[in-house]
Structure 1
């Protein structure tokens, strides 16, 4: 079986949902071949902003993945030469590039797995069986009106024409399943990575630390709350944010000036060490319709790490049945984190990291791979549209 995945994220050392699921599927089925389509490189946008302009890396074999044949996984990163407002056919050109790459790999009738809504254009151009995997409700994000309109139009095509729709959260199941059947496949965690104790990372500040691991973006992070929390921790400990940095220069400098420690992106296999050695794990997220659509991967990672958690009342955490998770509103958040760090300095404070228990077995990525494999199997035998 061949599979074309249009992803909203690159394939790199920071593994997210798509990478865990794709790698798991490849390990299950040695005959599977995957074309993983990454977001396009945008050299003009980079040149006008803070990035380093570069061309897309095109079609290439993926870096080695344990248990996966070297010729089973291919990556394709196109180049976006112009903004949509200048070239209104940019998405059609993207779709043609994806189809050309699939043909070059001798993929004649693959399954299409759409995570990036632009995959609607591939769906319309082919008769491929298709799955829409909804991980974020971008129709609710704070974006310019033309972008929201584009996403809504593409999603309407996907919800109407895809053979199956998978969602990662109960909120998405309600919204996307209003007019058609959907399958809930939540996010997960590599529980084996947390079953062993890791050494304290050398770049963690000394003393008590409150740690957040995830993409730094104001779609999710409450930047003002992060700054307030860092100031509240002055003299007690540090607020540490680790993850891919999508902040503006002004946002970044505001956090640093408040005392936040920014570590930058860390590979997924290093994340358990940061979480295990946190005195508190924190989720200083904004509460919006967009964040309410999410199923945060960090919920599962934090639970596997077994450390105390303080979160704003965001989806996933506010409904967690876990005595380690404290949910507070943003006004009480800095004090709750400060209390945990003070408590960690007590002479009888325990810093032992519990091994994952039986309750975590159902949230391992292996279980999610099983669930998705069932959906894909149902598509591979479907009747032609």
Structure 2
């Protein structure tokens, strides 16, 4: 088993987690009521003009320091024009056992106009309803604290998670924006009243955007102002490896056969059994998976040709991608994954790499002619062998994929998002 795979916390980790949990508990007891009063006084003393440039608080379920996805990309580009606070409370157990890149940075000034606010929240909310309720109160208090610290009297609230419906009532807003990036109501962690919570967010939202067309089809019957804004790609970053091969990362495994790679979160949505079945039947193939483990991931970690390299900084991903022969999107096909559109697809394309995927509707809707689709291990092996033959004979044309990715930059998607937001301000 590789050393860089997330280990169990152990007794020391449990004690560390309990000690760190004291901080959000104390905040809950003392600072929540104090911040409520401070926010009320702040709102009375600071009347923001609707003519002033908007300020944004992006309350994200995804943390700034973990796998970069839609929220981080939009926030970083929006901050080129406006003040942005990226609010992403971090569960205590992520610090102790999982999020290696988090360094206790509660507030980080990324640029003059982009602030990351990452205070602690309590572990275990997906299993204990009381902890979930306590964390929702913490989110409200942290949002008020961020607004006061950054002098945001009437910010635009940008949500990407439907179960934080308390936030829409936390303070006066210029507008509420709901970016639907996943079918969270279908997740195993969804509370029993998930649809009611999402309905409250939708009622408060002036503008709703969706990251996939499948989500757009659902949302347009629930809200009058919905726009499909697909995910983009940091084209220059990922395309660089198609033009120049970087140095091989030191922890990248040596292989005589083809390398099949994946980067992203490792959770219940990844079909670990599919990967393991193929790996056993093709021991000469090397599988390299990058990304943080979640406890829901069912994969075994004792196969010699399957390597888990852990979470990597976003800007280092192309150096690993350069040494993938084939890129994978091995998702289970469930009600939740039927509405995803993985950001990594265009990143793979920008590097000029062939992609094998399971049957994801949004991927097939827009890119069916560009990907290889496998429904089971037999078909996966057959398709990989076909790709290898194409590459070996010179029939595979990387430029086709590069040209597709070039048309979908994050800058273009951010401009589309901003136009939709400004219409409701």
User: What TM-score, normalized to structure 1?
Assistant: 0.83
- Write the distance in 1 (CA, Å) between the matches of 2:416 and 2:376: 36
- 1:284 paired with 2:341, answer no
Q: CA deviation at 1:225?
A: 0.4
Q: Residues 104-115 of structure 1: matches in 2 within 5 Å? A: 104-115=149-160
Tell me whether 1:180 sits opposite 2:226 in the alignment.
no
Q: Is contact 1:59-1:77 (8 Å) kept?
A: yes
The SS at the match of 1:148 is coil
Cα distance, 1:258 vs structure 2: 6.3
Distance 1:149 1:56, change over 3 A: farther
- Structure 1 residue 343: deviation in Å? 2.9
1:192 maps to 236
Alignment match, 1:132: 178
Q: Deviations over 1:181-234 (max 9, x none)?
A: 31111101111121432325331432310111211111x210100101111221
**For 1:12, which of 65, 70, 86 is the aligned residue?**
65
Alignment of structure 1 residues 285-324 onto 2, 5 Å? 285-321=331-367, 323-324=369-370
Q: Is the 8 A contact 1:78 1:94 kept in 2?
A: no
> Structure 1 unaligned runs (5+)?
64-69, 381-385
**Residue number in structure 2 paired with 1:275:** 321
Q: Following TM superposition, by how much is the alpha carbon of 1:357 offset from its aligned partner in structure 2, in angstroms?
A: 4.8
Counterpart residue number, 2:136: 91
Structure 2 portions without partners, runs of 5+: 1-53
> 2:162·2:197 contact (CA, 8 Å) conserved in 1?
yes
Alpha-carbon shift at residue 11 of structure 1 (Å): 1.1
CA RMSD between the two structures: 2.9
Report the equivalent of 1:343: 389
**Which residue number in structure 2 is paired with residue 360 of structure 1?**
405
Q: Which has the higher helix share?
A: 2
Corresponding residue SS for 1:379: coil
Provide TM-score, normalisation by structure 2.
Answer: 0.76
The aligned counterpart of 1:79 is 120
Structure-1 residue corresponding to 2:145: 100
Query: What is aligned with 1:379?
Result: 424
Paired position in structure 2 for 1:257: 303
1:157-168 correspondence runs (5 A): 157-168=200-211
Distance 1:81 1:261 in 2: 31
Structure 1 pair 199/40, CA: closer, same or farther in 2 (3 Å)? Answer: closer
Q: Give the corresponding residue for 1:154.
A: 197
CA distance in 1 between partners of 2:309 and 2:396 (Å): 22
Structure 1: distance between partners of 2:65 and 2:307:
23
Q: Offset of 1:351 from its aligned partner?
A: 8.5
How big is each residue's C-alpha offset from its partner over 1:28-67, in whole Å with a ceiling of 9 and x where there is no partner? x1xx211111133234x877xx5589x994751234xxxx
Give, in angstroms, the shift of residue 16 of structure 1: 1.4
Give the Cα separation in 2 of the matches to 1:74 and 1:268. 18
Question: Residues 160 and 52 (structure 1 numbering): CA distance in 2 closer, same or farther, change over 3 Å?
Answer: closer
